[in-house]
Copies of this chain bind each other. A is one copy, B any other.
Amino acid sequence: MPAAFSSPLSRSASVPCPTADRYLAVRRRSLELAAPLTDEDCQVQSMPDASPTKWHLAHITWFFETFVLERFETAFKPFDASFRVLFNSYYEGIGERHPRPQRGLITRPTLDEVKRYRAEVDQRICAVLAAHPDDAELHELVTLGLHHEQQHQELLLTDIKHALSSNPAARAYAQHWPLRAVQPLPMQWLACEGGLFDLGHDVTLDGPFCFDNETPRHKTYTAAFELASRPVSNGEYLGFIHDGGYRRPELWLSMGWDWVRSEARNAPLYWRREPGSDAAAWRHHTLQGVVDIDPHTPVCHLSYFEADAYARWADARLPTEAEWEWAARHFAAQPSARDNLADRGAYHPLPAADSQTHGPLQMFGDVWEWTQSSYSAYPGYKPLPGAVGEYNGKFMCQQYVLRGGSCATPGGHVRASYRNFFPPDAQWQFSGMRLAR
């Protein structure tokens, strides 16, 4: 990590505080992720759905300032009063907010000022933690803020990937390309008997933290089904393309077919056919630059519409989120160090490589897996009280659940009960699929 990014403080080791340790590690990681970028890269917003890197760095700091410092500092004074509006994402309870599509116009504060903002808030959070070592609510709020920051670390990567793709002279975010040749693994169907079971966060299995949308744990029923042993690969998806998949309305949802035609889609986001070469010569934009497409790597940057159409073409379907979670529990799938691809500098899914596992491969990491489940409240769901409760519940409409994390998800962030969600036309996340039937 370059010196310029070093945090202005080092915690005294004399008082052990796991929250503060974790706080400093997560906060440092955000700056590491921004390090390869110029000030100008950090400024731009390439579409309304995406945010500038600088905005991410400021917003996740605003979260700590607003929800932690404002409450736990006795003589709270904001770092800069205008930040309350500039870096509020969508919290109506906090007041006015800068229009989302204009985040890329905020040239002041500069990136350097945002880093000073981060450094000051870091110092003050650590002071608050030290002053209240036993305040459970404080430690819970800080932990929530850290998981929030990790979500933005993933968005930072997907957003900058999109921004660099808009730039004809785009250079790679990272130099190292992680792919090595592997022995392709055929997809297999795993039998799952289903039944009545408990869905949702389980402290024992998933660890103490979860978002409110993973609760309450509740009984649900699912019939027997089969689940694919690994995600759909680029090579398999090319079969769909070459079979006219993007030209056959019977394979698509009505809304998906409208999307294909109005957006003139013929391949996943970031794929481009090389001019003049043969039909199969697809390449794609990655965080490592434009490279050939590897047939054994999980396909990603699919919309829900594309995942659903592929499944229909393959005479299968997407799993429900209950089926996905049943399988994760049944096969005792857990995120592993292998799955922290971003932390390992991979920034791209990798091919399935382990032929020894009897259960499903790559349930975690690599690609978020679209489920057929619309994102909705679990029975008995209650949002957190206050403005911080605007985190999940108010988005439970017109989105689909994705499970399992991706190559951009920070280590320690995902778990079997984790519910990600995006609208069905979203493609800029590392979103892929696993078949069911």
Instruction: Please list the residues of chain A having a beta carbon within 8 angstroms of any beta carbon in chain B.
Output: 38-44, 46, 54, 80, 82, 85-86, 90, 92-93, 98, 102, 104-111, 163-164, 166-171, 196, 218-223, 249-250, 252-257, 372-374, 376-377, 379-380, 390, 394-398, 424
Contacts and interface: CB of A to CB of B under 8 A. Distances in A.
A257 to B, nearest CB: 7
A93 B44 contact: no
A258 to B, nearest CB: 10
A110 B168 CA distance: 13
A99 B61 CA distance: 34
B169 A108 contact: yes
Contacts of A104: 44, 104
B82 A169 contact: yes
Q: How many copies does the complex hold?
A: 4
Contacts of A54: 40
B249 A397 contact: no
B221 A167 contact: no
B108 A249 contact: no
Nearest to A223: B379
A221 B223 contact: no
A110 B394 contact: no
Contact of A196 (B196, B250, B373): B196
A39 B38 CA distance: 10
B250 A92 contact: yes
Contacts of A373: 376
27 contacts: A38-B39, A38-B107, A38-B110, A39-B39, A39-B40, A39-B110, A40-B40, A40-B107, A43-B43, A43-B44, A44-B104, A44-B105, A44-B107, A80-B169, A82-B168, A102-B166, A105-B166, A106-B167, A108-B169, A196-B196, A196-B221, A218-B223, A221-B221, A254-B397, A257-B394, A372-B376, A398-B424
Given A38-B108, A111-B40, A250-B92, A256 B220 contact: no
B107 A163 contact: yes
Q: Which 7 A-B pairs have the closest CB atoms?
A: A374-B374, A92-B249, A221-B221, A40-B107, A254-B394, A41-B107, A82-B169
A385 to B, nearest CB: 11
B108 A171 contact: yes
A314 B329 CA distance: 37
A244 B105 CA distance: 34
Name the residue in A41, A44, A396 with the highest tally of chain B Cβ atoms < 10 Å from its Cβ. Answer: A44
A60 to B, nearest CB: 19
A64 B107 CA distance: 30
Contacts of A46: 105
Nearest to A108: B169
Contact of A398 (B42, B105, B377, B398): B398
B43 A107 contact: yes
A219 B218 contact: no
A261 to B, nearest CB: 11
A373 B105 CA distance: 35
Given A92-B249, A223-B379, A86 B169 contact: yes
Nearest to A389: B250
B252 A394 contact: yes
Contacts of A220: 221
B168 A398 contact: no
Contacts of A256: 397
Given A110-B40, A168-B98, A255 B105 contact: no
A212 B19 CA distance: 54
Nearest to A99: B166
Contacts of A44: 43, 104-105, 107
A254 B255 CA distance: 22
Contacts of A164: 107
A219 B194 CA distance: 12
A253 B110 contact: no
Contacts of A397: 253-256, 424
Contacts of A163: 105, 107
A43 B111 CA distance: 13
Nearest to A109: B169
